[in-house]
């Protein structure tokens, strides 16, 4: 039986059952009611006739009795009266009555009830002055007729209900269940067959929740299909472009399925309370954009400082939460720090000590013994967290990130000599003289050399590091293999230029006008800057160049606009707070200088100081005509690469500081010295006026570079070298 028939039959059966039960009780009630009425009327009649009729018993005067009966005959249902001896024999009776009738029940002076057969009702009343009794007969045929009527009405009501229920059920099943199922099934069939890709899922109605799950499945299927096709294309063309799937397979193969543990101070997802609800925030950090694709591809655990104010509410008993929230692929293990620890380790030693020490940006490093103590203690705290994550795993892989954890490699390696440990230093490494001012340089270098593989973005930083080691420690440096040997352990020191993933099929291009309107920018040529508000980023130098460009090229007044998306960063540190003010003041000064009646509402610099979500920044990359990266010193700078990797319709133009790691690869950018305001202003003009062909040539060449040296390749190279590490300490 089809589901619909079963559904209709069940509903009809249930309705019939309920209706029959209901009618049964109604009929019973009707019967009781009519009988009570007859009893009542019969008793009244018998009572009132008794006195008048009693003398007639002795005389057996049937005529007189009939007269009395006729007098009451007006009463609708009266059928006759009879008088009886005590044993029930009829003494006198009106015509048409039964021959005999039983006396009232013993002890009763009035006894009413239906006579078997149901057509007559009798009330018997004992006579008062002589033995015997009087019977009053009434017509009772209407009792059964009334009951039958109730059943008849019940039947028709049921019939109407059944028809209505069936019609409504069929309607709902047809239009609200079967139709969406058919539409969804057809849509799924199309997806499976690879037709109508990107077609929106039809509205789900009742099946809404199921439909959105199906949409997720279809998306995964589409991604998997695209990956498989890309792989096939690559195999066919003999190229070797790295994809997430390729990295995944590669890592599985090289690490023999060992879980990967990444340690980085900054967590990739922060839970914060906003307007009474918990929101997920993606921090603005090059490190996060660089490292996450690897964990997404390979799975594993990311150990980080839980810095969000709702972080504790969202972890399980082991301080873990699965991420990304929308499609969990790996675990985030949070480590909790007290305010003193965070102040000393993160703000103090890492960001007021090591950060300015490694970046040549003319900010004086601050070295405080208390900060160093906390730095040491927090490295130990993270070491304990990592050791608990790799407990029981033979030869685990630990990928440590950045200058927050210089001491961690040694701590882990001492406890777990079988672990394969890498440390990637995301910021520059200065020359030995510059680094030598750090009072704890030996401890730092010693901690770092606990790693089996030590990575920097570029060879120049590796060389600086090896020279620093050479001056600071007793050890053997193998300049041919770029390895440092101390006792039984050797550390490979290599450049791994970090990168990004190419943005594929990002959907329809956003509207440049609308984006500009959203920040109050006006003009036709859009230049973009995206930074954490950090003194190493050369933001003020960039603004000065915009000023100079407009001064030298007034034709662009009203047409050229520079939008700076600046994310406040490390604002607990005074220098960073001052910087935000300086940047704002500089933008205001320059804007005020170019105010004119001719270009109403236009200003050359639009500064949007806020945390900008990644997808929002991605939209700007897709429409900006120019992107300017003018860092005074930068390990790599992923903004430059993200801009080039964006899914755009037209080629863009990139202005790039020669003091970034990225400038070693993106040689077709307009390379500038950010301190040279004239040169950056010239580069702006060049970018604006570049011939379309030249623009396209440079653009394609930069994209080609990133396509080949993407983030998956970075991960694969690191994994390769880690897998090659010989745990007996011999060179690989």
Dihedral of the alpha carbons of 149, 155, 158, 159, in degrees to the nearest 10? -130
Closest CA to 584 of 566, 560, 602: 566
Name 305's bridge partners: 335
**Closer residue to ligand G6P, CB minimum distance, 305 or 413:** 305
Q: Is 569 in the site for ligand G6P (CB under 6 A)?
A: yes
| Nearest distance, CB of residue 570 and ligand G6P, angstroms | 6
Q: Is 427 in the site for ligand G6P (CB under 6 A)?
A: yes
| Nearest distance, CB of residue 249 and ligand G6P, angstroms | 28
Closest CA to 574 of 544, 535, 541: 535
| Nearest distance, CB of residue 434 and ligand G6P, angstroms | 18
Task: Determine if the peptide bond prior to 117 is cis (ω within 30°).
Answer: no
Which residue minimizes CB distance to ligand G6P?
426
Q: Is 248 in the site for ligand G6P (CB under 6 A)?
A: no
Task: Provide the residue count of the chain.
Answer: 732
Q: Rounded distance, CA 353 to CA 343, Å?
A: 12
| Nearest distance, CB of residue 509 and ligand G6P, angstroms | 28
**Closer residue to ligand G6P, CB minimum distance, 438 or 544:** 438
**Closer residue to ligand G6P, CB minimum distance, 296 or 570:** 570
| Nearest distance, CB of residue 568 and ligand G6P, angstroms | 10
Per-residue contact flags (x/-) with ligand G6P for residues 467 to 506, judged by CB under 6 A: ----------------------------------------
Q: Is 287 in the site for ligand G6P (CB under 6 A)?
A: yes
**Closer residue to ligand G6P, CB minimum distance, 111 or 352:** 352
| Nearest distance, CB of residue 283 and ligand G6P, angstroms | 6
Q: Is 94 in the site for ligand G6P (CB under 6 A)?
A: no
CA angle 313, 314, 320 (to 5 degrees): 120
**Residue 439 C-alpha from the chain's centroid:** 47
**Closer residue to ligand G6P, CB minimum distance, 284 or 672:** 284
The answer to whether the beta carbons of residues 338 and 325 sit under 8 Å apart is no
**Closer residue to ligand G6P, CB minimum distance, 381 or 525:** 381
- Number of residues counted as binding ligand G6P (CB under 6 A): 11
- 678 token code pair: 């004239």
Q: Is 333 in the site for ligand G6P (CB under 6 A)?
A: no
DSSP tag of 115: -
What is the residue whose two structure tokens read 């340690």?
263
| Nearest distance, CB of residue 462 and ligand G6P, angstroms | 16
Q: Rounded distance, CA 528 to CA 516, Å?
A: 11
Q: Is 703 in the site for ligand G6P (CB under 6 A)?
A: no
Q: Is 285 in the site for ligand G6P (CB under 6 A)?
A: yes
Dihedral of the alpha carbons of 359, 287, 543, 629, in degrees to the nearest 10? 90
Q: Which stretch binds ligand G6P (CB under 6 A): 122-130, 136-144, 281-289, 448-456?
A: 281-289
**Closer residue to ligand G6P, CB minimum distance, 122 or 271:** 271
| Nearest distance, CB of residue 616 and ligand G6P, angstroms | 18
Q: Rounded distance, CA 131 to CA 330, Å?
A: 105
**Closer residue to ligand G6P, CB minimum distance, 492 or 498:** 498
Q: Is 660 in the site for ligand G6P (CB under 6 A)?
A: no
Name 122's bridge partners: 113, 137
- Residue 730: CB atoms within 10 A of its CB come to 11
Q: Which stretch binds ligand G6P (CB under 6 A): 157-165, 285-293, 557-565, 694-702?
A: 285-293
Q: Which stretch binds ligand G6P (CB under 6 A): 284-292, 436-444, 505-513, 622-630?
A: 284-292
Q: Is 342 in the site for ligand G6P (CB under 6 A)?
A: no
The 10 Å CB-count burial string (b at 16+, else e) for 17-54 is eebeeebeeebeebeeebbeebbebbbebbeebbebbb
| Nearest distance, CB of residue 305 and ligand G6P, angstroms | 9
CA angle 485, 490, 492 (to 5 degrees): 105
Q: Rounded distance, CA 606 to CA 528, Å?
A: 10
Question: HEC string of 515-536?
Answer: HHHHHCCCCCEEEEEEEECCHH
| Nearest distance, CB of residue 287 and ligand G6P, angstroms | 4
CB-count exposure of residue 325 (10 Å: 0-12, 13-18, 19+): exposed
Positions in 261-280 near ligand G6P (CB under 6 A):
265-266
| Nearest distance, CB of residue 378 and ligand G6P, angstroms | 14
Q: Is 353 in the site for ligand G6P (CB under 6 A)?
A: no
- Contact with ligand G6P (CB under 6 A) among 570, 648, 713, 717: 570
The answer to whether the beta carbons of residues 262 and 401 sit under 8 Å apart is yes
CB-count exposure of residue 173 (10 Å: 0-12, 13-18, 19+): middle
| Nearest distance, CB of residue 383 and ligand G6P, angstroms | 19
Q: Is 402 in the site for ligand G6P (CB under 6 A)?
A: yes
Sign of the dihedral defined by the CA atoms of residues 281, 285, 286, 290, in that order: negative
Positions in 615-654 near ligand G6P (CB under 6 A):
635
What is the residue whose two structure tokens read 């990797």?
645
- Contact with ligand G6P (CB under 6 A) among 286, 344, 497, 674: 286
Q: Which stretch binds ligand G6P (CB under 6 A): 1-9, 234-242, 273-281, 282-290?
A: 282-290
Q: Is 428 in the site for ligand G6P (CB under 6 A)?
A: no
Q: Is 537 in the site for ligand G6P (CB under 6 A)?
A: no
- 223 token code pair: 């991604």
How crowded is the C-beta side of 54, counted as CA atoms within 13 Å? Answer: 14
| Nearest distance, CB of residue 427 and ligand G6P, angstroms | 5
Q: Which stretch binds ligand G6P (CB under 6 A): 162-170, 220-228, 283-291, 617-625?
A: 283-291
How crowded is the C-beta side of 491, counted as CA atoms within 13 Å? Answer: 28
- Contact with ligand G6P (CB under 6 A) among 426, 489, 542, 648: 426
The answer to whether the beta carbons of residues 295 and 329 sit under 8 Å apart is yes
| Nearest distance, CB of residue 472 and ligand G6P, angstroms | 22
Q: Is 354 in the site for ligand G6P (CB under 6 A)?
A: no
For helices 539-552 and 677-689, angle between their N-to-C axes, nearest 10 degrees: 60
**Closer residue to ligand G6P, CB minimum distance, 136 or 427:** 427
**Closer residue to ligand G6P, CB minimum distance, 204 or 661:** 661
Strands (DSSP E) contained in 395-496 are: 397-401, 420-424, 453-456, 476-478, 483-486, 489-495
Q: Is 352 in the site for ligand G6P (CB under 6 A)?
A: no
Please give the residue ranges that form the binding site for ligand G6P (CB under 6 A): 265-266, 285-287, 402, 426-427, 569-570, 635
């Amino acid at each position: 039986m089809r589901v619909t028939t079963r559904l209709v039959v069940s509903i009809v059966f249930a309705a019939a059952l309920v209706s029959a039960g209901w009618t049964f009780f109604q009929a019973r009630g009707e019967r009781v009611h009519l009988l009570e009425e007859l009893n009542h009327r019969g008793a009244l009649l018998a009572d009132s006739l008794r006195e008048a009729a009693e003398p007639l018993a002795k005389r057996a005067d049937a005529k007189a009795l009939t007269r009395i009966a006729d007098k009451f005959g007006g009463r609708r249902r009266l059928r006759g009266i009879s008088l009886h001896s005590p044993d029930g024999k009829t003494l006198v009776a009106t015509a048409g009555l039964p021959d005999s009738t039983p006396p009232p029940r013993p002890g009763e002076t009035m006894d009413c009830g239906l006579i078997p057969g149901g057509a007559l009702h009798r009330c018997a009343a004992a006579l008062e002055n002589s033995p015997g009794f009087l019977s009053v007969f009434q017509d009772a045929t209407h009792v059964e007729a009334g009951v039958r009527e109730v059943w008849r009405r019940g039947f028709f009501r049921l019939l109407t209900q059944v028809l209505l229920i069936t019609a409504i059920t069929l309607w709902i099943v047809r239009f609200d269940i079967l139709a969406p199922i058919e539409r969804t099934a057809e849509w799924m069939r199309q997806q499976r067959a690879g037709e109508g890709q990107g077609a929106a899922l039809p509205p789900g109605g009742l099946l809404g929740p199921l439909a959105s799950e199906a949409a997720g499945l279809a998306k995964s299927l589409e991604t998997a299909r695209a990956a498989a096709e890309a792989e096939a294309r690559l195999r066919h063309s003999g190229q070797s472009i790295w994809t997430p799937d390729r990295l995944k397979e590669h890592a599985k193969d090289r690490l023999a399925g060992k879980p990967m543990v990444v340690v980085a101070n900054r967590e990739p997802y922060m839970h914060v309370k906003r307007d009474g609800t918990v929101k997920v925030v993606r921090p603005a950090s090059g490190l996060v954009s660089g490292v996450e694709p690897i964990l997404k591809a390979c799975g594993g655990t990311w150990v980080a400082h839980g810095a969000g104010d709702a972080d504790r509410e969202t972890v399980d008993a082991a301080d873990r939460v699965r991420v990304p929230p929308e499609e969990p692929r790996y675990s985030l293990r949070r480590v909790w720090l007290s305010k003193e620890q965070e102040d000393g380790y993160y703000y103090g030693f890492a960001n007021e000590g090591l950060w300015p020490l490694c970046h040549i940006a003319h900010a004086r490093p601050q070295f405080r013994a208390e900060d160093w103590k906390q730095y040491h203690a927090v490295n130990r705290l993270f070491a304990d967290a990592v050791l608990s994550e790799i407990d029981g795993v033979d030869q685990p892989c630990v990928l440590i990130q950045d200058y927050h954890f210089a001491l961690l490699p040694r701590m882990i390696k001492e406890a777990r000599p079988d672990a394969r440990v890498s440390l990637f230093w995301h910021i520059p490494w200065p020359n030995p003289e510059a680094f030598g001012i750090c009072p704890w340089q030996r401890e730092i270098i010693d901690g770092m050399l606990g790693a089996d593989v030590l990575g920097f973005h570029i060879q120049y930083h590796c060389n600086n590091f090896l020279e620093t080691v050479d001056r600071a420690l007793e050890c053997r440096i193998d300049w041919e293999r770029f390895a440092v040997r101390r006792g039984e352990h050797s550390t490979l020191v290599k450049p791994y230029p970090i990168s990004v993933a190419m943005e594929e099929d990002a959907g329809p291009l956003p509207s440049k006008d609308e984006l500009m309107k959203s920040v109050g920018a006006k003009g036709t040529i859009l230049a973009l800057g995206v930074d954490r508000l950090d003194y190493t980023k050369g933001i003020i130098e960039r603004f000065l160049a915009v000023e100079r460009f407009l001064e030298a090229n007034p034709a662009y007044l009203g047409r050229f606009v520079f939008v700076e998306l600046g994310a406040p960063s490390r604002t607990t540190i005074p220098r960073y707070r001052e910087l935000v003010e300086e940047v704002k003041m500089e933008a205001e000064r320059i804007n005020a200088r170019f105010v004119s009646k001719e270009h109403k509402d236009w200003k050359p610099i639009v500064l949007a100081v806020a945390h900008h979500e990644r997808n929002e920044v991605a939209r700007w990359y897709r429409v900006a005509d120019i992107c300017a990266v003018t860092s005074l010193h930068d390990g790599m700078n992923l903004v430059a690469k993200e801009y080039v990797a964006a899914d755009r319709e037209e080629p863009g133009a990139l202005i790039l500081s020669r003091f970034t790691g990225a400038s070693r690869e993106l040689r077709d950018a307009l390379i500038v010295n950010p301190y040279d305001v004239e040169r950056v202003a010239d580069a702006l003009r060049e970018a604006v006026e570049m011939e379309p062909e030249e623009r396209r040539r440079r653009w394609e060449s930069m994209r080609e570079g990133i396509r080949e040296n993407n983030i998956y390749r970075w991960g694969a190279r690191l994994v390769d070298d880690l897998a090659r590490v010989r745990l007996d300490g011999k060179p690989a």
